[in-house]
Structure 1
Amino acid sequence: MLKAIILQLQPTAEGELPRTHGSLAYAAALDLISRQDVELSRRLHDDNSYKPFTVSPIFGNFGRHRHQLIPAPNQLYRWRLTGLDQPTSDFLGQLQVDTSPIRFGSATFTIQAVQTSTNQDEDCGQTSYDALWQKWTAQSQPPRQFGVRLLTPTTFRRKKAEINFEQPLPEPDLFFGSLIRSWGTYSAWDTSEMEDFVTRYPVTISNYRIETQRVQLGRRQTVGGVGKVTYCVTRNSTQICQLIGLLIDFGFYAGVGWQRTQGLGQIRGEKLTRR
């Protein structure tokens, strides 16, 4: 099961947020889960290799003071959570309006509404791994170009000459390799054939418009890319085009790249207008 929900939040008192507050959003999500399911919260926190959820930053109109965001008292804000396995998605599906405060640093909010369908918000949704697979394998003429919007800063962890570093450019091998690994981890499917397809059939970036943003992650910083990317399958292969479409749809729920539980890597596929 894959699920994406939007929580509409309202500030309860004066407070402020760092401009990038992914670590606070992650802590707030675990606290919210622990109120109803302590065991699930503990599992999500303790297992560093299995994080079947993503957490967005808080979206909305803020005042600004130096490097801080100031929530407006009567403003509603959006907070997106996704689940990538059955227990996490089930929990998200049961969330309700709650007057208990949720703390993000010195700022506190209450849940005013829980949105679960695309009719309520385009960033909501629900599907399954089987449904995504069937949707794309049923297409006899899938597109060869795919648009992707990087909604929040996106970066990829790399290692070269024993040095770890982050790269904000979503090169195809990094972008789709991240999605394939997530698909294999949370669906329990064998992804060796997916990996083979991406290796054998070239996928390139045909167009992009990306700006970089500096992101604070607790005590360290990184740089992520935000904007639009177009990927193109350079050989006419129905199977690889189906796979690329499948992975981008999956990325709507799973996110892509590094630190997806701390607000990074939120993406959405976009239909391209043919000229």
Structure 2
Amino acid sequence: MVSELCFSDLPAEAGQGWPRGGEMVGITLEVQALQSYSLDPHYAKGLHAWFLSQVEQTHPRLSAYLHDGESEKPFTLSRLMGPFREQGGRQVIPPNTPFQWSITGLNPEVVDWLWGWSQRLPAWLELRGSPLQIRGWKVLFPPRTYSQLLEQAPSSGSCSLSFVSPTSFRHRGHHLPLPVPKNLFHSYLRRWNDFSGLPIEVDLFLDWVDREVTIQRYRLESVKTTAGRQGSVTGFIGCIQLAASPRMPELLRQQVQALLQFAPYCGTGHKTTFGLGQTRLGWLAAERVSTPRASQEEQIAERIQELSTLFLSQRQRQGGSRAEKTAWLWATILARRESGESLEVIAKDLEMPYETVKTYAKLARRATKNYQSV
């Protein structure tokens, strides 16, 4: 189980004890607000944008790769973790209260950049009009190499994982909010094969996992949340215990254990750069797993689902991904507009022209009125 982190009042330079090197690492920053802030339900996108802007300032080539690379992303970002309050259906950060924000790197270039950045952290994390003071940092997951994970994989046949933020998989155009072993390991294997230089044969490995890795116990809860550019995600949080059958060849069981040790670094499922899929080793206490969720965020996610179903049903040709994408886009714009967000903010988040978003909002509103008048 991951031990609790302890921060002092020292500045960011207090974290200089991290030895340089490694092919993966995880760090966590302690931040605080000097006054009370009400967070936008989509604030994870702001954390993502701020992180990439920090990379761009010092390493433009790496920034371009993180922005545009078509492979797996070699980093993950958590959402803010701490004692949120709720006011008017929104998460509120109380003043002078420590919160944590975690970052992992999955290849040497990102790890090296994190090492240098951690030695000269900015004083503030600028989060959409809610500046947070950076008070310090600590190593969350120690620097390791992929060969170390493989060579030092524990021999035990069972392991527990805790999913401390909503976790989901893409499955046939939908979200799969269940930790099916084959999906879990496919998620880890994609990152491993992209970054390790020690490829594992995908089909053979996953066939064995499907037959011989089982869930021994679980404690899970399904949740809806907003993530990324548009739409909502149905995910799960909680804990599971996995076991690999002794019938698996020794090398494959070693690979299973290595990937489980890799899980906290790479996260689980999709949208791990927007705070989803945060994973820890061990069976964590319920209060450490159930991350605070703003009721407004859940309401927006539910409203997006409701509206997208409505818009899709109104289209004469319901088949195909284009119809589904349009329905989700209209639903996202209208649901966020109904929650009080400006069209300017929505357009910026969705990276769309303002006039297009304005037109879609009108069309979506008209579609709901037509439905209500029927």
Q: Shorter-chain TM-score category?
A: 0.7 to 0.9
Contact residue 154 and residue 225 of structure 1 kept, 8 A: yes
Deviation at 1:226, TM superposition (A): 0.4
The equivalent of 2:48 in structure 1 is: 26
The alignment partner of 1:107 has SS state of: coil
The equivalent of 1:153 in structure 2 is: 166
The equivalent of 2:216 in structure 1 is: 206
Deviation at 1:130, TM superposition (A): 1.1
Letter paired with 1:196: L
Deviation at 1:182, TM superposition (A): 0.8
Contact residue 210 and residue 228 of structure 1 kept, 8 A: yes
Deviation at 1:93, TM superposition (A): 1.4
The equivalent of 1:129 in structure 2 is: 146
Change over 3 Å in CA distance of 1:106–1:224 after alignment to 2: farther
The equivalent of 2:241 in structure 1 is: 230
The equivalent of 1:109 in structure 2 is: 132
The equivalent of 1:93 in structure 2 is: 115
Contact residue 16 and residue 106 of structure 1 kept, 8 A: no
- Residue correspondences, number: 257
Contact residue 97 and residue 114 of structure 1 kept, 8 A: no
The equivalent of 1:246 in structure 2 is: 258
CA distance in 2, matches of 1:233, 1:20: 38
The equivalent of 1:7 in structure 2 is: 29
CA distance in 2, matches of 1:151, 1:262: 14
CA distance in 1, matches of 2:108, 2:159: 28
Q: Which moved further from structure 2: 206-215 or 167-176?
A: 206-215
Change over 3 Å in CA distance of 1:10–1:96 after alignment to 2: farther
Change over 3 Å in CA distance of 1:195–1:268 after alignment to 2: farther
Query: Whose strand fraction is larger, Structure 1's or Structure 2's?
Result: 1
Query: Identity of counterpart residues, as a percentage?
Result: 26
Deviation at 1:99, TM superposition (A): 4.5
Structure whose CA Rg is larger: 2
Contact residue 20 and residue 215 of structure 1 kept, 8 A: no
The alignment partner of 1:8 has SS state of: strand
Deviation at 1:195, TM superposition (A): 4.2
Contact residue 20 and residue 57 of structure 1 kept, 8 A: no
Provide the alpha-carbon RMSD of the alignment: 2.1
Contact residue 212 and residue 247 of structure 2 kept, 8 A: no
CA distance in 1, matches of 2:259, 2:59: 30
Question: Over residues 241-261 of structure 1, what are the superposed CA-to-partner deviations in whole Å (9 max), with x where a residue is unaligned?
Answer: 322211011111011111010
Contact residue 30 and residue 41 of structure 1 kept, 8 A: yes
State yes or no: 1:261 paired with 2:265: no
TM alignment of 1:165-244, pairs within 5 A: 165-192=174-201, 195-200=203-208, 201-217=211-227, 218-237=229-248, 238-244=250-256
CA distance in 1, matches of 2:68, 2:88: 35
Letter paired with 2:164: L
Kindly indicate whether structure 1 or structure 2 has the higher relative contact order, using CA contacts under 8 Å at least 6 residues apart.
1
CA distance in 1, matches of 2:143, 2:46: 26
Q: Runs of 4+ in structure 1 displaced over 6 angstroms?
A: none
Deviation at 1:21, TM superposition (A): 3.4
The equivalent of 2:74 in structure 1 is: 52
Deviation at 1:113, TM superposition (A): 0.5
Deviation at 1:19, TM superposition (A): 4.8
CA distance in 1, matches of 2:254, 2:42: 35
Q: Which runs of 5+ in 1 are unaligned?
A: 117-122
Deviation at 1:2, TM superposition (A): 0.4
CA distance in 2, matches of 1:257, 1:90: 25
